[in-house]
Amino acid sequence: MARTSKKNISSVKPQVIYSQPNNKVVYFMMGVITLFLVFLTIKVYSLEKKIASGTGTAPQQESKISVKELKKFAKDLKLETNKFNKCLDSGEKKSLVEKDTAYGTSLGVQGTPGFFVNGRFLAGAFPFEFFKEIIDKELAGTATNNCTDYSEQLQQYCSDPQNQAFIPTPKTLDVAGAQTRGSKDAKVHIVEFSDFECPFCIRALPTVDKILKEYQGKVKLSYLHFPLTQIHPNAQKAAEASLCAADQGKFWELHDKIFAVQQTAQ
């Protein structure tokens, strides 16, 4: 309690009267507060469960390539949906996708997209001109393993050991069973390790399409799976779905559909 001091006020101390609280009122108020806290706790818990299950007022937006959407794509492409859905739900293609990923890792692939142009590694969504230089050298028979034999643009990606996005020394690849596009007798064989949910793979798709169009009959493309599951949660099932579609002869149709719906969202 604050004190005030005035000279003309009597020195007699004022009395402060303390009243005893009514115990019934105190207990009643404590009961009300307790009930309110219990009610609030239940409401918060209920809201958290709804949000976590996607039924609350703030659900996460469903992926454009979720399993539900992949099944819609199969229907749109007139696949035998019962067979496709059983294949996808059972996970029977999981081991094949994992085999591709393990093989890519053994070749030095660390991210996507990763390309091998007649075995020469080019990591990333590079512009068409970079691929063109490598392909033209392969077709002309002037390709070498020396970094300095390539343009300054490419040299900056092969001269620094810490930033080797281009490795001109070729590797021999075994792509038996891979899905392919282009002429079987093509002089240039491009092997792509890709992830259906990777934004850089989506960005690289027009470049790949342009290569196949401009070098028709001269370039063949083989596609292998490398889903980055830690950051792309839908990539694994999308890869499996593409192989389920391949059983019905429509790998590339589903491949194109999966990438197309994501291109429109970028």
pLDDT in tens, 71-123: 999 999 999 999 999 999 999 999 999 999 999 999 999 999 999 999 999 99
Q: Strand 114-117 and strand 166-167: pairing?
A: unpaired
The yes/no answer on whether domain 67-263 falls in CATH 3.40.30 is yes
Between 26 and 89, where is the model more confident? 89
Rounded-to-integer distance, Cα 240 and Cα 90, Å:
10
The amino acid present at 144, given as its one-letter code, is T
Global confidence as pTM: 0.77
Beta-carbon neighbour count of residue 123 at 10 Å? 20
- What stretches of the chain show up as alpha helix (H) in DSSP? 23-53, 67-76, 81-90, 94-106, 128-140, 152-155, 199-214, 235-246, 251-263
- In angstroms, the first-to-last Cα distance of the chain is 66
Residue 127 has pLDDT above 70, yes or no: yes
For residue range 183-229, list pLDDT tens digits in order. Answer: 999 999 999 999 999 999 999 999 999 999 999 999 999 999 999 99
